[in-house]
Amino acid sequence: MKRWWLNSMLFKKEFEHRCRLSKSTSSLGPIENASESKDPNINDESGNSSKNEDARTSDPIIRESSTDLDVTQKYRHLWVQCENCYGLNYKKFFKSKMNLCEQCGYHLKMSSSDRIELSIDPGTWEPMDEDMVSLDPIEFHSEEEPYKNRIDSYQRKTGLTEAVQTGIGQLDGINVAIAVMDFQFMGGSMGSVVGEKITRLIEYATKEFLPLIIVCASGGARMQEGSLSLMQMAKISSALYDYQSNKKLFYVPILTSPTTGGVTASFGMLGDIIIAEPNAYIAFAGKRVIEQTLNKTVPDGSQAAEYLFQKGLFDLIVPRNPLKSVLSELFQLHTFFPLNQN
């Protein structure tokens, strides 16, 4: 029996108990009820209608689809489904568990604010360039909606001004400069504002002799800004060259899922120590693009963190739980120490 089917069965029992429903929630949504939709009593549109009617009266588990949809919309916000095992995680406790699946330990996506809260000591976060927003430099208009409208929509949806948060904080008492990309904002795409904010952070870290962390989560360069987005790769790389080669300072990129495109091809792979999260999807071009371009099949798992680690693409795979302590130890090994040592 498949694990996701078992999870859905367990969830239904728990759901009925919590909500005290008199009827079963057998169709809590397509993600939980895929196997039950194959019941011939439900899907037989051309056959005997009385057979379906008998099934409904004899089996109280089968319910009207309209009611199922109501239940789905009413309660699905309470749960988060794992991308890996399809298990359900109660959202109330999901954040406290660092967005790790309770069933299989899979690392699900995190918002930039949650990552900052996870990595930076409480009360020490000082954001930079929060008021910097994208305009529409090439007046890009697609068939769907204008670029400026999309930016406004994502700003309302996420509460962020752009796809990266930058700032200064303390990590176990050590002053650090940190940039955290947010995949929820236009897929973490790198436009002119993202590039400018990261570059300014690197320049500040260079001037103040601070260790640098960039948490990568991006689909690559933002197509709505054309070559202006592509030039951010060179701009950030140039700032990193001064930071690393001239000032001999310490930079750690953290590759989370997904890290692709121009981010992988630039600052994502320029770290002194490169860290990846378990199960992270890391690539330059996606599997479908490669297969269509080269007319060759890309092996499954060849763009996963574990496979790339075996090929020597980065240095460490670190789960979220010990990540902060690992970073603290790395910084101290590179002569960055807490401000207040006991």
Pairing of strands 251-259, 316-317: unpaired
Annotated binding site for Zn(2+): 82, 85, 101, 104
Binding residues: 82, 85, 101, 104
Q: For helices 320-333 and 112-119, give the axis angle rounded to 10 degrees.
A: 60
Using alpha carbons, select from 217, 207, 133, 201 the residue that is nearest to residue 166: 201
- Measure Cα distances from 277 to 301, 309, 321 in Å: 15, 11, 11
Amino acid (1-letter code) at residue 297: T
Which of 253, 303, 261, 299 has its CA nearest to residue 280?
A: 303
Dihedral-angle region of residue 220 (phi above 0 means left; psi in -120 to 50 means alpha; beta otherwise):
left
Bond prior to 258 in cis (omega within 30° of 0): yes
